[in-house]
């Protein structure tokens, strides 16, 4: 077994002083003031051990990362019929692109771009009794942590500035791929994106994808086939228009968010989460990508 704590510390020291730390996602006003100096890494191995460096205990906005948790809940609820309403191909375009949605008659390319996640949100609004509360309960159950919550200010900030998400939801509605009211679905979607978690809480939440569908507390939430599908989608679609680059550099399924978080995992081995809020041009955390490339190289552990 590699000395994981020593590896994380070496990566942290190496990466923290990089001068170009990227750019904060200021298009969500509530995120614009986050300090670019934040940087944390957390690793949870499948034998239950936990390692961390830097700001790994500080909560941040998970943003698109929570789309994976929403997808897992939708798949647990409606199974394979999920794929009647959303595709499984990378989009090759930014996460909020609308043209493709119009050309492809309201079927989003995959569930990890905004339009796809809005369809998943619609499925959850239809199938959960109290969507926001029930989804939060699911995340708290996965992590065993009742302190996890939405950030109402971030949700509100997205609500008043999320014009492209309104456009996507309306397009979906016009193609009859949204069953609930645009307002209700987007309210749920914005809350989903506003979920705040620390690196260690995220590693714990994603543990089921590295552990055949069983969460940290050994409860089965999704089956093997569903885990396989979700990991495949993270590998091919988890990094906006940079999934190829992430596979090339890091070699793990994962998901990033514009809050600067990245979660990546190796089935049966580990989940690793990084947080550094400065983003590169494609919207992925600059230091996070550097750190994860170093991690899989130093630990000699990747899917390839």
Binding site for ligand GLU (CB under 6 A): 63-64, 95-96, 114, 158, 165, 193, 257-258
Q: Which of 61, 64, 256, 285 is catalytic?
A: 64
49 is catalytic: no
Q: Cβ atoms within 10 A of the Cβ of 240, count?
A: 26
Nearer to ligand GLU by Cβ, of 4 and 95: the residue is 95
Q: Which of 53, 56, 67, 285 is catalytic?
A: 67
Minimal distance, residue 9 CB to ligand GLU, in Å: 28
302 is catalytic: no
Minimal distance, residue 3 CB to ligand GLU, in Å: 33
Minimal distance, residue 304 CB to ligand GLU, in Å: 25
Could you write out the DSSP letters of every residue in 2-25? Answer: --HHHHHHHHHHHHHT-S---B--
CA distance 20 to 12: 15
Task: For tokens 């509530």, name the residue.
Answer: 30
Task: For tokens 């041009």, name the residue.
Answer: 281
Nearer to ligand GLU by Cβ, of 96 and 297: the residue is 96
64 is catalytic: yes
67 is catalytic: yes
Please report, for residues 2, 125, 265, 288, 302, the alpha-carbon distance to residue 297 in angstroms, rounded to integers and kept in the order given: 12, 41, 14, 14, 8
Q: Which of 12, 56, 189, 207 is catalytic?
A: 189
Nearer to ligand GLU by Cβ, of 75 and 193: the residue is 193
189 is catalytic: yes
Order of strands, sheet of 195-197, starting from the edge strand that comes earlier in the sequence: 60-61, 195-197, 149-150
CA distance 255 to 59: 17
Minimal distance, residue 85 CB to ligand GLU, in Å: 19
Minimal distance, residue 65 CB to ligand GLU, in Å: 7
Contacts of 83 (CB under 8 A, 6+ apart): none
CA distance 43 to 291: 12
Nearer to ligand GLU by Cβ, of 158 and 293: the residue is 158
Nearer to ligand GLU by Cβ, of 53 and 120: the residue is 120
Q: Which of 53, 185, 227, 258 is catalytic?
A: 258
Closest CA to 165 of 203, 116, 131, 205: 116
What residues act catalytically? 64, 67, 189, 240, 258
């Amino acid at each position: 077994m590699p000395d994981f704590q020593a590896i994380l510390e070496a990566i942290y020291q190496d990466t923290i002083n990089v001068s170009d730390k990227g750019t904060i996602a200021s298009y969500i006003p509530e995120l614009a003031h986050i300090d670019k100096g934040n940087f944390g890494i957390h690793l949870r191995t499948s034998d239950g051990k936990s390692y961390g460096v830097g700001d790994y205990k500080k909560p941040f906005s998970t943003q698109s990362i929570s789309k994976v948790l929403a997808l897992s809940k939708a798949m647990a609820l409606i199974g394979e019929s999920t794929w009647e309403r959303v595709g499984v191909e990378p989009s090759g375009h930014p996460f909020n692109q609308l043209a493709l949605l119009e050309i492809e008659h309201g079927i989003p390319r995959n569930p990890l771009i905004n339009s796809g996640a809005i369809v998943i949100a619609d499925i959850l609004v239809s199938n959960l009794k109290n969507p926001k509360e029930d989804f939060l309960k699911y995340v708290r159950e996965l992590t065993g942590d009742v302190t996890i919550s939405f950030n109402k200010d971030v949700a509100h900030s997205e609500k008043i500035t999320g014009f492209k998400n309104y456009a996507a939801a309306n397009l979906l509605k016009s193609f009859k791929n949204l069953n609930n009211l645009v307002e209700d679905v987007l309210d749920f979607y914005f809350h989903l994106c506003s979920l705040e978690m620390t690196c260690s809480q995220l590693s714990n939440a994603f543990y089921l994808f590295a552990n055949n569908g069983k969460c940290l507390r050994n409860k089965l939430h999704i089956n093997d086939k569903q885990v396989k599908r979700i990991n495949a989608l993270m590998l091919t679609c988890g990094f906006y228009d940079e999934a190829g680059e992430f596979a090339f550099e890091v070699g793990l399924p994962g998901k990033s968010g514009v809050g600067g978080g990245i979660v990546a995992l190796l089935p049966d081995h580990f989940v690793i989460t990084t947080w550094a809020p400065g983003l590169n041009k494609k919207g992925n955390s600059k230091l996070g990508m550097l750190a994860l490339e170093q991690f899989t190289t130093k630990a000699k552990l990747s899917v390839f």
